[in-house]
Structure 1
Amino acid sequence: MKLLLLLITASFLLNEVYPWRIFRNGRMVGGNVGIPKPDKRREGVRDIPEEWFTQSLDHFNPTDERTWQQRYFSNDQYFDSTAGGPVFIMIGGEGEASVSWMTRGSWIDDAEKHGALLFQLEHRYYGKSHPTEDMSTENLRYLTSQQALADLATFITAMNKNYSLPADVKWIAFGGSYPGSLAAWLRFKYPHLVHGAMSASGPLLAEVDFLNYFKVVSESLATYSDDCVTAVQQGVDQIGTLLKQEIGQENLNEMFNLCNPIQESLENPSDISNLYETIADNFAGVVQYNKDKRMNNRAAANITIDVVCEIMVNQTIGPPVNRLGKVNELLLSTYDEKCLDYQYDKMIDSLRNVSWDSEAAEGGRQWTYQTCTEFGFYQTSSYEPHIFGDQFPISFFIQQCEDIYGDIYDADFIDGAIDRTNTLYGGLDIEVSNVVYVHGSIDPWHALGIIKTVDESAPAIYIEGTAHCANMYPPADTDLPELTAARQQVSELIDSWLKN
């Protein structure tokens, strides 16, 4: 033990970090679908201005006449109106809509091929689409997937009129991550408006305790080596040992560059749970976006499973807990952060802020609300063996719902909410045609999606070796053959839908 304590390393970085800003509840800051890299094949494309659509606040209460302005983008540069070209719509999700998607991404290749008119509709309560004066819990009652789908249906109906589109025009929906779920559900709920849908990395099964998330994270780390997984588990176990000793606590403060001394939190189980979950999320975020084509943070894109596992198996750094510290140091530095803030009350206070000008308005408060009221998706430490420890069980996440939004959002409420969502959409038993489900084996979210074809009219494409929404990004020379083949298969399916 003395050797372990002597080998502890320190790290001193730049700014203060709040882990719930970067990666939390399986959501990366900015949303789970990133900004696609520029496509060299399409340099000098036209400027795409933002546009606004008058939307109903509550689609399911005809006596409520309140409206708001929803942001969208359009691109008609490929549209062949004389040939009755189709319409493609990119569904916005748990982050700000990016105009970059209007000229980049694999869907642009299909739009050019078929002469499609393009739209992207930002999701209510995210980005600049603010339906209410603030994000109070009372106002968030209008933040539901059902309302979002009705937004899409209303928008599609209006655009058909605005563009004088023929009655038999075919709309194809595209979405990745939560919008991937919405794409499938849109086709399911509004088949008279949407002819087909590409659902990438979409979790279709709402689940309170998403324990298989970290199962897939562990399996994905094992694609590098079993030694990497073993080292992670040993490092996490050593954190527990250090927490029991005064000198060990001091070393943890330095090793993980904690914003507040761990001694202040020894009597607060929620702080300790938050610390363990944050360390686990260091690996989860890397795995979820392993070798993708996002350009939100170029430095972060270079941090892959190979990079973190090379650190974890490097015995010259010291014991496994030291290596966990080095991974943490790398990520803090990458996101230009000074220290790791793990304190529970600070996180809760931040997520209680109802102002559109707050940091929580980036999407953290909204997405947490949707997990509490519709989806669950809580990535707990319930999976055995406990590679990342057992300090963040489902009760830890349910408590957050109560602390942020009120006591009504307890375990019984959330259980009922998840049952309702699966009843509304069918979970993994959804019966729908002209939908393609695309998932990557590295992406933990595939555990809640359809990865095997049951109905040929709604096939699944499971890509070995790729992560979250990989098929949506522009093609690159470094793409795995399986990824290239998946894009081609999606394109062929769209061809067949448009012919029928």
Structure 2
Amino acid sequence: MAVHRLAVLIFLTFFVGLAWSLPRFLHGRPRGGMLGAPRRRSGGSLPPDQWLEQKLDHFNDADLRTWQQRYFVNDTFFKPGGPVFLMIGGEGTANPIWMVEGTWVVMAERLGALCLMLEHRFYGKSHPTPDISVESLSFLNSEQALADLAYFRQYMGMKMNVTYSKWISFGGSYPGSLSAWFRLKYPHLVDGAVATSGPLLAQLDFTGYVSVVRDSLATSPQGDMCNTNIMQATTQVEQLLQHRVGWADLTKMFQVCKPLNGSNPNDVSNFYEAIAGNFFGVVQYNKDNRAFEGAVGTDITIDTLCGIMGNTSIGVPLARYAAVNTLLLQTYGEKCLDVSYDDMITEMRQTSWESSASEGGRQWVYQTCTEFGFFQTSDGKDQPFGNGFPVSFSLQQCSDIYGKQFNKTTLTQGIARTNTNYGAKGIRATKVIFPNGSIDPWHYLGITKDVSETETAVYINGTAHCANMYPALPSDPPQLVQARDTIFKAVEAWIQ
């Protein structure tokens, strides 16, 4: 029988004007998901929502419950005998704009491909359960998502008479990993995989993220001085946190919503992570691909932030650090910086599909707390953001949001299972290509060197997260142009 699904139109309109306690950038995920939507460049209607009946638990034949999963179809370019391109949805709402824009659509037109996209369970409109309680979220993991893809592939193969066509999977960020893993686990169902910006290695303490942020900031015209100024600002923050007058100064300078309590270690860690996160988000989506998204903040780059940090007319490094925060607040229309840990946890505990947490934050953090880790912490050495948000802070969030059973021991076991199941950076599949950008912090967990003759890396110097997936622009650097051509030639060879 079908699991009850709440009215999705209410869900779609719920977030307009909503006040958020969740960070803008949480565990590497911006609101809306890690893959942005490309700017719509032409008119016309988008493909409508379509639905298929999907099993709730693919690994328990005694569980007969089903639910409705959303997908999209674009057959505009399809020629009889042509390939099938499958875009894998991820940790956010599947956006039908991807059905008419992006590099894969250009490839589909050139190769006469049918384009399909499947939304990931528990994200967007694809609601397998009546709520997102911990009990319900037990059905949210990468293995169930891959099984969804396998069933969808067989279902669409029969429905559209493309069972024996060549199938190529595409994905960016977490779906980039899913794309590679789909080829690994179901090689009889997919003939090749493009795994863009996919973190293949699950890791508890992802200190490499901040290291890449540091190195990427140093590529600005200010060079290493950008990091030096951030480090000096961080030292000044640490000094002000030592006394109540300093708490008030920081509250005013950084426009904190509630008076900052320097004696509350959780609020302090949230504060450190939030002001560092201003830089994390910009680095992750720097320049070439952010310019395609059509989203707020696309004109803010590494050069923008480092330019502020190097502007002595603003004042001491701390004042510049605060100016960066002000710019991001204004850009995203936020009245103040909410660093209340209790407010964040209260919001993340909400289990209704109509809650703000159901936008994807609660679901993604659950996945990080059970199978991936990916905690971007301050535990690494030689980085400018201090040590205010250690891995213990992320682990505490797991326990405080989902229950005490979600702790370091259980997550360590989950991470080991993930890496054993898929092979991490030692993945052994064939016909998989791994594009990654040097600016993107996620490349640290991805594959940047060829694994074998049929598992190849495309390491794109100077580009950020999923840059190769977005529509081309005349201003694209030559290495990005070359990367797209390399990917196209690989796909073209796979479908022969």
TM class, shorter-length: over 0.9
Partner of 1:12: none
Q: Secondary structure at the match of 1:108?
A: helix
**Aligned-residue offset at 1:391:** 1.1
Q: CA, structure 1 residues 297+277, in 2 after alignment: closer, same or farther (shift >3 Å)?
A: farther
Q: Structure 1 CA distance, aligned partners of 2:254 and 2:19?
A: 12
Aligned pairs for 1:48-127 within 5 A: 48-81=47-80, 84-127=81-124
TM-score by length of 2: 0.94
Partner of 2:375: 378
Whether 1:25 and 2:22 are equivalent positions in the alignment is no
Q: Structure 2 CA distance, aligned partners of 1:123 and 1:47?
A: 19
Output one character per residue of 1:121-161: Cα deviation in whole Å (capped at 9) or x when no partner: 00000000000000000010000000000000000001111
Q: Structure 1 CA distance, aligned partners of 2:389 and 2:45?
A: 48
Q: Structure 2 CA distance, aligned partners of 1:495 and 1:177?
A: 23
Q: Secondary structure at the match of 2:22?
A: helix
Q: Secondary structure at the match of 2:345?
A: helix
Instruction: Report if the CA contact (8 A) 2:92-2:124 is conserved.
Output: yes
Q: CA, structure 1 residues 231+460, in 2 after alignment: closer, same or farther (shift >3 Å)?
A: same
Output one character per residue of 1:145-183: Cα deviation in whole Å (capped at 9) or x when no partner: 00000000000001111112253x110000000000000
RMSD value, Cα: 1.3
Q: Structure 2 CA distance, aligned partners of 1:179 and 1:269?
A: 35
Counterpart of 1:102 in structure 2: which amino acid?
A: M
Whether 1:431 and 2:458 are equivalent positions in the alignment is no
Q: Structure 2 CA distance, aligned partners of 1:425 and 1:448?
A: 13
Partner of 2:276: 280
Q: Structure 2 CA distance, aligned partners of 1:287 and 1:381?
A: 16
Partner of 2:248: 250
Q: CA, structure 1 residues 253+97, in 2 after alignment: closer, same or farther (shift >3 Å)?
A: same
Instruction: Report if the CA contact (8 A) 2:205-2:373 is conserved.
Output: yes
**Aligned-residue offset at 1:298:** 4.0
Q: Secondary structure at the match of 1:339?
A: coil
Partner of 1:417: 414
Q: Structure 2 CA distance, aligned partners of 1:211 and 1:126?
A: 27
Partner of 1:457: 454
**Aligned-residue offset at 1:387:** 1.1
2:493 to 488, 493, 496: 496
Partner of 2:14: none
Q: Which runs of 5+ in 2 are unaligned?
A: 1-16
Q: Secondary structure at the match of 1:301?
A: coil
Partner of 1:236: 234
Counterpart of 1:109 in structure 2: which amino acid?
A: V
Q: Structure 1 CA distance, aligned partners of 2:493 and 2:469?
A: 19
Output one character per residue of 1:338-389: Cα deviation in whole Å (capped at 9) or x when no partner: 0001011111000000000000000000000000011000000011124101
1:355 to 324, 327, 352: 352
Q: Structure 2 CA distance, aligned partners of 1:166 and 1:68?
A: 23
Counterpart of 1:250 in structure 2: which amino acid?
A: A
Instruction: Report if the CA contact (8 A) 2:214-2:383 is conserved.
Output: no
Q: Structure 2 CA distance, aligned partners of 1:231 and 1:181?
A: 35
**Aligned-residue offset at 1:238:** 0.5
Q: Secondary structure at the match of 2:211?
A: helix
Q: Structure 2 CA distance, aligned partners of 1:21 and 1:273?
A: 13
Q: Which runs of 5+ in 1 are unaligned?
A: 1-14
Instruction: Report if the CA contact (8 A) 1:145-1:182 is conserved.
Output: yes
Q: Secondary structure at the match of 2:86?
A: strand
Instruction: Report if the CA contact (8 A) 2:432-2:454 is conserved.
Output: yes
Instruction: Report if the CA contact (8 A) 1:17-1:338 is conserved.
Output: no
Q: Structure 2 CA distance, aligned partners of 1:45 and 1:115?
A: 20
Instruction: Report if the CA contact (8 A) 2:292-2:470 is conserved.
Output: no
Whether 1:387 and 2:384 are equivalent positions in the alignment is yes
Counterpart of 1:216 in structure 2: which amino acid?
A: V
Aligned pairs for 1:138-149 within 5 A: 138-149=135-146
Q: Structure 2 CA distance, aligned partners of 1:257 and 1:16?
A: 19
Instruction: Report if the CA contact (8 A) 1:86-1:172 is conserved.
Output: yes
Aligned length: 477
Counterpart of 1:324 in structure 2: which amino acid?
A: Y
Aligned pairs for 1:164-203 within 5 A: 164-167=161-164, 169-203=165-199
Instruction: Report if the CA contact (8 A) 2:172-2:466 is conserved.
Output: yes
Aligned pairs for 1:123-162 within 5 A: 123-162=120-159
Partner of 1:481: 478
Instruction: Report if the CA contact (8 A) 1:35-1:294 is conserved.
Output: no
Q: Structure 1 CA distance, aligned partners of 2:315 and 2:393?
A: 32
Counterpart of 1:215 in structure 2: which amino acid?
A: S
Q: Structure 2 CA distance, aligned partners of 1:462 and 1:204?
A: 15
TM-score by length of 1: 0.94
Identity %: 52
**Aligned-residue offset at 1:494:** 0.6
Counterpart of 2:204 in structure 1: which amino acid?
A: V
Partner of 1:448: 445
Q: CA, structure 1 residues 260+16, in 2 after alignment: closer, same or farther (shift >3 Å)?
A: farther
Q: Secondary structure at the match of 2:98?
A: helix
Q: CA, structure 1 residues 115+258, in 2 after alignment: closer, same or farther (shift >3 Å)?
A: same
